[in-house]
Amino acid sequence: MNRRDFNALLAGLGLTFGEGKIHHASATTSRVDVFKLRANDWVPNNPDLPVIVYRNALEAGPDREAVYEDLFSRNGWPPQWRNGVYPFHHYHSLGHEVLGFSNGSARLMLGGPNARTVEVRGGDIAVLPAGTGHCNLGSDTEFTVIGAYPPNQSFDILRAAPTAEQSARIHGLPFPKTDPVQGAAGVLAREWHPS
């Protein structure tokens, strides 16, 4: 393989080669959607913190999962899984969650039954504050998601109204120190702050 083809291959993976080292792709966005979700039926959502959806944050393509994992790791949100989004309404009380949509597309319902439908595709990233309901309404066969959480946070699968303990945990989770997509000075730093 000649140097030009090798560099084209690296660029396709979101990497560049120069001065003896490989550089990872950085996230950029053409649009960021920010919205709050009220409690909805048994789904608590998060009354204080908005959902943040970064559109076209990373270029979609084959084997992009490692690029998402690297981005989240560099920004202090250790990746914990690769999979999809469950086709039933659920939320988490143990952590705030970032979902990197590396490939494919899906229609998600955010906020619980009959709440907000959001279309996502490879390249998009969503940050869901603890308590935010989410459900996959339908996706293509390429749909792949990378899940990550702030340090010392994780996930549980809750499908009923929160107990008093779960509700207190949702509201008492510490704020992440960095935006999982844009780092210390990202959108999350501006939108998520103590009330």
Model confidence pLDDT, tens digit, residues 64-110: 899 999 999 999 999 999 999 999 999 999 999 999 999 999 999 99
Both tokens assigned to 112 = 């619980």
> What is the pTM assigned to this prediction?
0.84
pLDDT at 61 over 80: no
| Cβ contacts of 187 within 8 Å, gap of 6 or more | 32, 34, 52, 54, 179, 181
Domains of the chain in sequence order = 27-191 (2.60.120.10)
Q: How many residues belong to the chain?
A: 195
- What confidence category does residue 191 fall into, taking pLDDT thresholds of 50, 70 and 90? very high
Strand-pairing partners, residue 148, are 79, 98
